[in-house]
Structure formats: C-alpha cells, structure tokens
Structure 1
Amino acid sequence: MKLGDVLQQVYEALESADLYYGHGTDNAWDEAVCLVLCAANLPIDSGQEVLAMPLDQTALTKIQEWTRRRIEERLPLPYLTGRAWFAGLEFNVVPGTLIPRSPIAELIEQQFAPWCVQPPEHVLDLCTGGGCIAAAIAYHLPESQVDGVDLDPAAVELARENVRKLRLESRVNIYLGDLFSPVEGKQYDLIVSNPPYVDAQDMENLPEEYRHEPVHALA
C-alpha cells in the first residue's frame, strides 16, 4: 500500500476514536502524519512526495500496532514512537518519564528576550526531567553553560541520553538530586523550572492519556 492511502486510514481511525491530543499534536491529522512517518522511518518534515511511496510489511505492521494501542490503550503517541519535539529539536522519550511540552520553548527560541537584556551564560534547569529544557537552552544559546537537576534516576538517565544525542555534553551537565543540593554554591544568571503543577482534583479530571505519564512529574 502507498503511504498516502495508509495515512488516510490512520487518520480516519483516530478521528473516529474518542482520543485526546496534547502530547505534541492537537488534532487527528497531525497525529496520523507523525505516527505514519515515524513508523516508516521518514523525516517528520517530509513533503508530499512521500505520499506515493509504497510501504513494506514491517512499516505496515508497526503502523497497525501503534494505531491499535493509541486507540485501545489511549497511550500518548511519543511513548509509541519514542520521539518528541521541543523548541525545534527532537528528543528521545521513554515510558515513565514526562513527555516534553512547555511554553518555555518559545522563551528559549527567543533567547528569553525581552526578559533578559543579554542571553544568560550560566543557567540552571530545576526538575529537568528528560532534559529537553536544559538541552534546548544550550542549543539556542550557544554561549551558555547549563546545569539540569532532577531527583528521578530514570529521568536523569534519559536527560543525559538526550544531551549526548544533541552533542551538547561539553555545555550541559545533568545532576541527580533534589533541587539545589547537587549544585550547592554555584551561581546562575537564570534559573528555569517546569515542576509538577497539577493538584489532586485536576489529576482526577485529566484525560486518560495523561495517566500514562508519571504522577510524580505532574502532581
């Protein structure tokens, strides 16, 4: 089958299901595009020329399985693809860690202007999770040195993996610990954080997709 035909089928399946979109996309079509392109190992920004591309059985099987799990288990797509995008960068994602998303991305891409007159050189990212904020700051502010801190060992491991993926090891350090304890005595031009922010009542009302994410990272 051609990619375009499969894409239409996935879109129709997602559109007819009672799904919530909020982990990288906000509608069924974009979700279907991401799912199919990732399963086919194609760039996420592929053009319309790929629509006529025939898909092999490996890709078709993966698309079928991901679509089924997305609908039946309400599993967020990044946990299926293992990928998410933040501030224009691709990050690895694994179950048990928070999926990257934050309005801080826009501030990073604008180098925190107009809030910072000059781009900050020494930055601390508290509750760094998978390291997307810390790594994005280092990428978009090439003169910066960034420290990221998190108390979750799995998140710290993933953050270090993402830092290596973006080849930012020389400018980003990820520490395991609680808040300021691993960086005691260090001084920073800017401290950023996207800490747990959902209260117990709101947690109860969140769509099912969010229940796959670690509770300690949300509430």
Structure 2
Amino acid sequence: MYLPTSDLLTPAHWLGWAETAYAEHELVLGQVADNAHDEALYLILRTLELPLDSPAKVMRRLLSGEQLQRLTDVFTRRVAERVPAGYLTREAWLGEYSFYCDERVIIPRSYFLELIPTLSGYLPEGLVVTNAVDVCTGSGCLAILLAHQFPSARVDGIDLSPDALEVAQINVRDHAVGDRLTLHRSDVFDAVPVRRYDIILSNPPYEPSDICDDLPPEFAHEPRLALDGGADGLDIIRKLLRQAMERLQPHGIVVLEVGELRPAMERAWPKLRMKWLETADGSNCCCLIRGDDLATIRG
C-alpha cells in the first residue's frame, strides 16, 4: 500500500487521506464506528496519544518524523491488513466506559448499552436487583455495565474461552467491580454454582456457521468461537433458554441480543412470548422473555 507521507504533514492531512483510502479499499466498519471519518479520527488521535475531545486546532499541527511513522504503521495495518481499529488501539468504548480488548475477544459493541438502563422497568416495581448474569461475557463489558447499573447486585460473567476470561479479568480490575463481579469458565451454566437471577442477559454467538465462513476480513480477525452459533445460529440460545428455566427467579427476565435471528427464533419457539425491545436505530434485535413464560419451551 502506497502512503504519500511527504504530503501528509498534519493530522488533518491524514484524516482526509484516510477517508479516501477507506472508500478505495472498501474497508468494513461497525466494530468501532459506523463511518470512515469517525473511525479514522479516532485512530489518529489515539495513535498520537491525544485526547478524543482535542480542539480542532490540533488537527493543523505539523507532525514530527516519529509521529508520521506511527501513523504510517497504524494505517498500514488498518488499510492493507484490514486489522480492526479496536485491536490497533487495544480499547473500545461503550458510552462513557472504556474497555480493554485484543484479539482474544470480539470488540465490545452491543445494543445493551442503551437497553440495560431500561431493564428495571420490566421487573416488579420497587424490586432491588440482587443477582444478575451475563452469559458469553467475552471482554466482560456487559457484566460490568450490569454492575454499574445495579449497584446492589452480585453479578456473574460466564464464558467458555479461557482467553476471553483473561481479558475480562483486566476489565473487572480496571472498573473496580471485583468485589461484586465473579467470572466463571463454563459452557453456559454447566459449571456455574446454582443461583437464581433477577436478570439473565446474553449477547451470545448467533451468526449461522455459513455466514461465519464468509465474513469480511475485519470480522474474520475476531474469535470464531464468539461469533458462530451453529447451523442456524441458535445452538447457544437453545441451551441458554433450557438452562434458564432452573436459573431465573419467577419474576425475572432473560434478555438476548440475536442479530437477525428474530424469524428463526419465532419459528423455533412459536408459543414463547418474546418482547422485541426498541432500539434507536430501529433494528430491534434484542428480545425479552419473562420467567413465567419459559415453561412453554419444554419439549
């Protein structure tokens, strides 16, 4: 990949070049930002160790030779090697919270950022959430968001991958929630001590295997274990719902993020009442199931 470094003398020059390069090389977005301008600006500021809220005048400053080399290295990896931005910076943001991430986990992103603050509205009025769990926790980001949202709750984070749990432990430490958040290596609830939860939340692997076989390069960098939901995408969801019947309080809720699987779920469980939660972008890809409705999936 050719970089006209003699012409890229300021951060603004790099931003303009990057936007064009993203389009020419058909880079895939969605892991950190949904547009080339925002992702490239983020990469520039992080690479130069500048605050993300830097004033506009910073973009006009002349860069040193060392800074030019750092930007050259980063954008070579992003554009030529198609490495996701989150892996280049080793971080991802969900709202006001920053999380460490690397190639051991998928880059944190979830509609639960906007939905977790609404979950109390689906529980009995006045209930204090005391037990919550994030199944397939990956980086631990959603378990940590649960801990922040429900300060009286004991939270479990479950994942099958020991590599993912190493990353989750970094984030648990960085967010200082280790006194209330316990990580478990387990295939769904298989190895987790029995406890009944007010909230069971999961953003599980839900992509059908044939889609995982043909992912764009950026998403192919992520661990397949965290993406592949089996032939129809429902393998982990089936197991989770079966086990949830013994793990959920009668008043409790199961909340799942399932991508484009709504038709598949409604075919699989035609009698199960699922409330599809509205999201700001209209994707409405998260469903809520009440504890007293789970019995309909037996058999």
Same fold (TM over 0.5): yes
| Structure 2 residue 89 is matched with structure 1 residue 86 | no
TM-score (norm 1): 0.91
Q: Report the equivalent of 1:72.
A: 80
Q: 1:119 to 1:207 in 2, by over 3 A?
A: farther
Q: Report the equivalent of 1:98.
A: 106
Q: Report the equivalent of 2:183.
A: 174
Q: Distance in 1 between matches of 2:173 and 2:118?
A: 22
1:143-173: CA deviation from partner (whole Å, max 9, x where unpaired): 3221101110110000010111112212211
After alignment, is 63-72 or 113-122 more displaced? 113-122
Q: Distance in 2 between matches of 1:49 and 1:137?
A: 38
Query: What letter corresponds to residue 159 of structure 2 in structure 1?
Result: D
| Structure 2 residue 17 is matched with structure 1 residue 17 | no
Which of 190, 204, 219 aligns to 2:213? It is 204
What is the deviation of 1:39? 0.2
Higher-Rg structure is 2
Which of 156, 161, 170 aligns to 2:165? It is 156
Within 5 Å, give how 1:37-48 maps onto structure 2: 37-48=45-56
Query: What letter corresponds to residue 175 of structure 1 in structure 2?
Result: H
What is the deviation of 1:183? 2.6
What is the deviation of 1:113? 4.3
Query: What letter corresponds to residue 167 of structure 2 in structure 1?
Result: L
The residue matched to 1:174 in structure 2 has which SS?
strand
Q: Report the equivalent of 1:52.
A: 60
The residue matched to 2:200 in structure 1 has which SS?
strand
The residue matched to 1:183 in structure 2 has which SS?
coil
**Contact 1:111–1:119 (CA<8 Å) still a contact in 2?**
no
Query: What letter corresponds to residue 169 of structure 1 in structure 2?
Result: G
**Contact 1:11–1:32 (CA<8 Å) still a contact in 2?**
yes
The residue matched to 1:78 in structure 2 has which SS?
helix
What is the deviation of 1:179? 1.6
Q: Report the equivalent of 2:290.
A: none
What is the deviation of 1:119? 5.6
Which of 120, 138, 143 aligns to 2:152? It is 143
Q: 1:144 to 1:43 in 2, by over 3 A?
A: farther
The residue matched to 2:119 in structure 1 has which SS?
coil
Query: What letter corresponds to residue 39 of structure 1 in structure 2?
Result: T
**Contact 1:92–1:162 (CA<8 Å) still a contact in 2?**
yes
**Contact 2:186–2:192 (CA<8 Å) still a contact in 1?**
no
Q: Report the equivalent of 2:236.
A: none
Q: 1:47 to 1:185 in 2, by over 3 A?
A: same
More helix by share: 1
**Contact 1:87–1:136 (CA<8 Å) still a contact in 2?**
no
TM-score (norm 2): 0.68
Which sections of structure 1, spanning at least 5 residues, go unmatched? none
**Contact 1:112–1:119 (CA<8 Å) still a contact in 2?**
no
Q: 1:132 to 1:67 in 2, by over 3 A?
A: same
What is the deviation of 1:24? 1.5
Q: 1:146 to 1:56 in 2, by over 3 A?
A: farther
Q: Distance in 1 between matches of 2:77 and 2:214?
A: 22
Q: 1:65 to 1:125 in 2, by over 3 A?
A: same
The structure showing larger relative contact order (alpha-carbon pairs under 8 Å, at least 6 residues apart) is 1
Q: Report the equivalent of 2:296.
A: none
Which of 100, 114, 124 aligns to 2:121? It is 114
1:110-147: CA deviation from partner (whole Å, max 9, x where unpaired): 24243234462311111111101001111233232211
**Contact 1:124–1:191 (CA<8 Å) still a contact in 2?**
yes
Query: Percent identity of the aligned residues?
Result: 36
After alignment, is 134-143 or 124-133 more displaced? 134-143
